[in-house]
Amino acid sequence: MSRLDRLPPYLFSAIDRAKAAARAEGRPVVDLGVGDPDRPTPPELVEVMAREVADPAGHSYPAQRGDRGLRSTVAQWLERRYGVQADPDSEILVLIGSKEGLGHLPLTCVQEGDNVLVPDTGYPVYGQATLLAGGEPREYSLRVANGFRPDPADWNRLADKRTRLAFANHPHNPTGATADPGLWRELADAAREGDYVLVNDGAYLEVSLDGSRPASLLAAVDHRESRVLELHSLSKLFNMTGWRIAFAVGNADVVGDLARVKESMDSGVFTPIQKVAQHALGQRFEELRAEVMAPYAARRRVIVDALAAGGFEVFAATATFYVWARVPAGETAAAFCARALAEQDLVITPGTGFGPGGEGWFRISLTAADTDIETAAQRLREWR
Ligand SMILES: Cc1ncc(COP(=O)(O)O)c(C=O)c1O
């Protein structure tokens, strides 16, 4: 079978079709499906972009590893925000969104017949990128009993001599689960013993709703001693999903290998976007972040209260803008979400869209206008 043919089918196509049909019928659909912020990029960042885009200096091919100014700002930001020291020249690499970095990572180390540990449930790209590189994704379970965190014993059992990479993602899409420094150290130990690279997809590290600070892999594990990498993204952090900018930080060998793959595949991020990122991660970071995150805690409360009133069990999480809740007993996730659309004009995501481990669960995204959140809450409350 070709690598392309090994890619799994797109699991949301049935929902997408039903959603389009409901909208075509003029039904008042509220979409809490996609994790794409409803609000615009902060105006201050748009102004920086307008200024930068007018400067012809930014119109040519960008610097391959990312603008030196941005990489130094990232280094200072990592030190201030996470207490992590990283060398801007060898340990930081600018990405065209974290998805790009995830997509390219298996190409750095996976040969035909190698395998990669990926979370079930999880963002589908880890497994898909592994398949496209010719590798075999090996799913490790994230169980509710373990707070949807990886169990290092599972990694030890699944890994073998052909394991090259393990992907983790905390804070986690879809559950919102966070790791802690002790767990990061245990996972890094497992990876070191198994001689594979540990990557944390930290796309939601800054999306916390209660002022708490989710644990970063790099803050817990010395990347100069272990082959670890963490990806940070400005997408969800600054309502910039369409702009495409993120960065990888970590072990110089791993960063260097990823840079080599990227040199063959892309030409970096449009320089004005990098200038915007530099501004956003600079002295104004705290204020800008607070402004973007402000609506989510209240939205989460509204939805969680409505789910509780409707008798749904909700997984307690304080990070990401997702709510993860249990499907009523006796119903599959797909059937329940189809019914939410048919009976309540609500688009929500079946847990199985993130792997078989998501059976029995559904995800609500809080990235919809406050009025839509209120409407959805009312429908959920009255439904059961
Ligand atoms: C867990 C996770 N990682 C990565 C991404 C991709 O983010 P980016 O916009 O930085 O490519 C997403 C997007 O939904 C995600 O949910």
For residue 162, CA distances in Å to 116, 127, 157, 197, 347 come to 8, 16, 13, 12, 40
Token code pair at residue 116: 């990669």
DSSP state of 96: S
167, 201 contact by CB (below 8 A):
yes
Residue among 2, 10, 231 nearest 100 (CA): 231
Residues 172 and 53 in one domain: yes
Residues 159 and 149 in one domain: yes
Whether ligand 1 lies within 6 angstroms of the CB of 203 is answered as: yes
Nearest ligand 1 atom to alpha carbon 245: 10
The structural domain count of the chain equals 2
Angle at 83 between CA 320 and CA 167, to 5 degrees: 45
Strands 136-141 and 115-120: parallel
What is the CA(99)–ligand 1 centre distance, in A?
6
At residue 314, the pLDDT reads: 97
Q: Tokens 């389009």 belong to which residue?
A: 20
Whether ligand 1 lies within 6 angstroms of the CB of 169 is answered as: yes
Residues 103 and 228 in one domain: yes
- Give the whole-angstrom CA distance, residue 353 versus residue 121: 8
Residues 299 and 251 in one domain: no
- Give the whole-angstrom CA distance, residue 345 versus residue 368: 14
Strands 92-95 and 30-31: unpaired
The answer to whether the peptide bond before residue 171 is cis (omega within 30 degrees of 0) is yes
Tens of pLDDT, residue by residue, the chain (384 residues): 899 999 988 777 888 898 999 999 999 999 999 999 999 999 999 999 999 999 999 999 999 899 999 999 999 999 999 999 999 999 999 999 999 999 999 999 999 999 999 999 999 999 999 999 999 999 999 999 999 999 999 999 999 999 999 999 999 999 999 999 999 999 999 999 999 999 999 999 999 998 899 999 999 999 999 999 999 999 999 999 999 999 999 999 999 999 999 999 999 999 999 999 999 999 999 999 999 999 999 999 999 999 999 999 999 999 999 999 999 999 999 999 999 999 999 999 999 999 999 999 999 999 999 999 999 999 999 886
Whether ligand 1 lies within 6 angstroms of the CB of 177 is answered as: no
What is the CA(148)–ligand 1 centre distance, in A?
18
For the chain, give the number of residues: 384
Residues 245 and 328 in one domain: no
Angle at 8 between CA 160 and CA 355, to 5 degrees: 70
Where a domain ends, among 285, 315, 336?
Answer: 285
Q: Tokens 């169990």 belong to which residue?
A: 151
Question: 68: number of CA atoms within 13 Å, CB side?
Answer: 1
Helix 285-309 / helix 370-383 crossing angle, nearest 10 deg:
20
249, 91 contact by CB (below 8 A):
yes
Q: What is the CA radius of gyration of the chain?
A: 21
Whether ligand 1 lies within 6 angstroms of the CB of 176 is answered as: no
At residue 165, the pLDDT reads: 98
Where a domain ends, among 229, 256, 285?
Answer: 285
Residues 216 and 325 in one domain: no
Could you tell me which residues are beta bridge partners of residue 361?
A: 326
Question: What range defines the domain where residue 230 resides?
Answer: 43-285
Where a domain ends, among 243, 266, 285?
Answer: 285
Residues 53 and 99 in one domain: yes
Residues 9 and 102 in one domain: no
Residues 12 and 25 in one domain: yes
Q: Return the CATH number at 310.
A: 3.90.1150.10
Residues 175 and 269 in one domain: yes
Q: Return the CATH number at 255.
A: 3.40.640.10
Residues 216 and 309 in one domain: no
Could you tell me which residues are beta bridge partners of residue 208?
A: 319
Residues 269 and 122 in one domain: yes
Residue 127: count other Cβ atoms within 10 Å of its Cβ. Answer: 25
To test the ligand 1 pocket, which listed residue (12, 236, 247, 322) has its Cβ within 8 A of the most ligand atoms?
A: 236
What is the CA(118)–ligand 1 centre distance, in A?
15
Token code pair at residue 374: 């209120």
